[in-house]
Amino acid sequence: MRANFVLIVSLIVGVGVASYLFSVHQVHAAQQAMRAEVVTRSELLTESLDVSVEPLIERRAYRELRTLVERFANRERLEGIAIYDDRGALLDANSRFPASLKTVPGAVDKALAQDQGAGDFFSLDGNLYRVYALPLHRDKKVRAILAVFTDASFIRAENGEIWREIFLRILVEMLIIATITVLVIRWAFMGRIREVAEWMRDLRAGDGTAKPPVFEGDMFKPLAREVTHLTRSLMLARAAAEEEARLREAGESLWTADRLRVYVQSKLEDSRLFAVSNREPYEHFHQGRDIRAQVPASGLVTALEPVLRACEGTWVAHGAGDADRETVDEHDRLGVPAEEPHYTLRRVWLDKQEIEGYYYGFANEGLWPLCHIAHTRPTFRAEDWECYQTVNQKFARALLEEMRGAERPVVLVQDYHFALLPLTVKERFPSCRLAIFWHIPWPNPEAFGICPWQRELLEGLLGADLIGFHTQTHCNNFLETVDRALESRTDWDRFAVNRHGHFTLVRPFPISVATQDGNTSLASPAESTSVYLERAALFKELGVEAAFMGIGVDRVDYTKGILERFSGIERFFERYPAYRGKFTFVQIGAPSRTHIKRYHDLFADVESEAERINWKFQTASWKPVVFLKRHHSHREIDRFYKAADVCLVTSLHDGMNLVAKEFVAAREDDQGALILSRFTGASRELRDALMVNPYDTEQVASAIYFALEMNPEERTARMRRMRRAVKDNNIYRWAANLIGELSEIRVEKGEILGQPSLIGPAVRRLRE
């Protein structure tokens, strides 16, 4: 009520002041118009008298002059007519001429002096008059002055009347405005606010089905945005609390984003967290005249976002969006997410040559094939190595700038793009605790020994306090590589490397995906029906008639075994012709690094192989293989996950492969079968998948048939066990294990990297 009163009073005062200012202008204009009318009438009368009076003055016919003056003196608002001699003395005046006006006015003297008409307004005894004096001539000399006096008091009376009308009009306007304001507030605002209040009351009461009010127009957009954020936070907090209570009741221990947040805060205490990765969590792109933010499809972003949010840390990454530079401040920083900033994104800029050499060259034509046993020869070029060193140094400088002034900072470096960064950072900031997670496999010592700069890479990695891999096998391979390539002491009991007094722990941290909270019971009949309807809708969109669906989701990369997968599918249709016209395999293939010749040729080969198989088996309304060759969003892919009967993951070599876990996490109906390559890290955890050797075409074909013919009870039991494994070991547990292990490491200031011998020759040369 008080707010309404303040608003109404403010509007009334504002309108009143504005109306007053306009009224002053209006009254002034009216007054000027009336004065102009008086001036015009008095001058016309004086000039008309001049024609008659001047001859009488010449003849000295004063009696006739009086008669003439008396006749004209009866005009409306004419107060009097007087004639003065050439010295200003009154010669004659009409009989009603007021005695108070007999004093010679200034206009008469002015007319005498200038020999031309002169007029003026003056006040006398509280009345307003207008006098106009006109010289009269005889023998071309001024002999007299004719003065006409007009009563102008009506102007003041009219002004008063105008002000009364204006006051009444302003009063009526204020009453109307107050009434309209009250109605508008009640109709347009109070109604909306009441809807929001009722909606939020329902949500607070636990009614999750309450529909949010619909906001229309730009006026309500900020309110709608903030209410939506608040509601989402409330619902997430409620869901997290309910899930935590359910888990406590069931004696379970599920890791969630909220639990991770609390855990990280307790472990890091007052330490600041810094993350380094090639890919940034938010990219900005031009869309017409606007700039839109996009979250890249990345398990890394899913894993690190809750950690960075929990401690308001800093994420250092390559700014790759075409509008990234327009969204940062003068220090290349911005708060993210934009609607509710929780941490800082620091962008590092790379030119085209650096991207070509560091990312596409050394990282993806050298280290990627070196670490994946996929029978693709790695390419090592000296110029690419130089770019790799330069970019690692550039990221290290950016990270050190962000860490300036921080006490006991914690650093998480991500992936094979930054093997040299740990040593550089630890040398300059020994008190920081630093971990690097290697997201791809680590090969055996013989394979890694191909790299001409293996010593420099190993020395750079051993600058970290903790190195993480997906599996214990990769940890063992790394330790064996260090044991053979460097002078160091390997502690196999602790799985650590002691090099020049600095200990580096090596641990397996199998990465995972975020899972939806909730139980894993069988879907209801309605939910099962919706799966069939969704599958039919997808087939209709694809222009295919089929009953069963297989799905594969990959970047088009030679390590993913897509061609081997297609060979297995072709063999399946040859061995089991009954499934022709019934089973369609959908391959979602996101183009990747296509300007690298190996990838460009592979993409063409995959496309050609799909066309060849279709040509061999397809009918007018059915295709065996549908190749969707573009990037798809998580939402788009999720539809295929939930509708597919079988998902094929046939990687030739993979550190983990999150597609397998994403498929399992999406199957809330506990249906579907997973065919999984035994050369993936995921095969160590998802033991109820149908394991295959992707090179064994017959085995792949048999696995597809077994998955489609599997007993429903067995299929459900397998999926439930896999969902339990993914749920228990989700992405939040991965992050918690990594942070927890790193936080337990004790780092003494200046203890580790003060010795020049720790620095490899190439790194030392680069630093100098």
DSSP characters over 546-570: -SEEEEEEEES-GGG-HHHHHHHHH
Strand partners, 122: 129
What are the extents of the domains in the chain? 2-157, 218-252, 265-512+748-767, 549-729
Alpha-helical runs (H) found in 60-123: 62-72, 106-114
pLDDT at residue number 632: 85
- Tell me, yes or no, if the two domains 2-157 and 549-729 fold the same way: no
CA–CA dist 348, 333 (Å, integer): 10
What type of residue sits at position 154?
F
Higher pLDDT, residue 221 or 704: 704
Q: Would you give the end-to-end CA distance of the chain in angstroms?
A: 72
What type of residue sits at position 749?
K
Average pLDDT score over residue span 65-81: 66
Q: 83-138, pLDDT tens digit by residue?
A: 777 777 777 776 666 666 666 677 777 877 777 888 887 777 777 777 878 787 76
Reported pTM: 0.69
Residue 264 clears pLDDT 50, i.e. is over it: yes
pLDDT at residue number 768: 38
CA–CA dist 458, 423 (Å, integer): 10
749 touches 430 (CB < 8 A): yes
Neighbours of 235 (CB within 10 A): 12
Q: Which among 719, 743, 739 is positioned nearest to 731, based on CA atoms?
A: 739
CA–CA dist 746, 731 (Å, integer): 25
Q: 376-418, pLDDT tens digit by residue?
A: 899 999 999 999 999 999 999 999 999 998 888 999 999 999 9
Residue 495 clears pLDDT 90, i.e. is over it: yes
162 touches 129 (CB < 8 A): no
Q: 233-261, pLDDT tens digit by residue?
A: 666 666 656 655 555 544 457 888 878 88
Please state which of the four CATH numbers 3.40.50.300, 3.60.15.10, 3.30.450.20, 3.20.20.10 is assigned to the domain occupying 2-157.
Answer: 3.30.450.20
Query: CA 454, 458, 462 angle in degrees (round to 5)?
Result: 175
What angle, 0 to 180 degrees and rounded to 10, lies between the N-to-C axes of helices 731-743 and 299-311?
50
Residue 308 clears pLDDT 60, i.e. is over it: yes
Average pLDDT score over residue span 202-208: 63
What angle, 0 to 180 degrees and rounded to 10, lies between the N-to-C axes of helices 658-666 and 712-728?
120
What is the domain class of 265-512+748-767 according to CATH?
A: alpha beta
What residues contact 422, with CB distance under 8 A and at least 6 apart? 413, 434, 436, 460, 461, 462, 463, 464
Quote the radius of gyration of the chain (alpha carbons, Å).
46
Cis peptide before 337 (omega within 30 of 0): yes
Averaged pLDDT score across all residues of the chain: 83
CA–CA dist 549, 648 (Å, integer): 11
CA–CA dist 490, 445 (Å, integer): 15
pLDDT at residue number 758: 35
Q: What is the CATH number of domain 549-729?
A: 3.40.50.2000
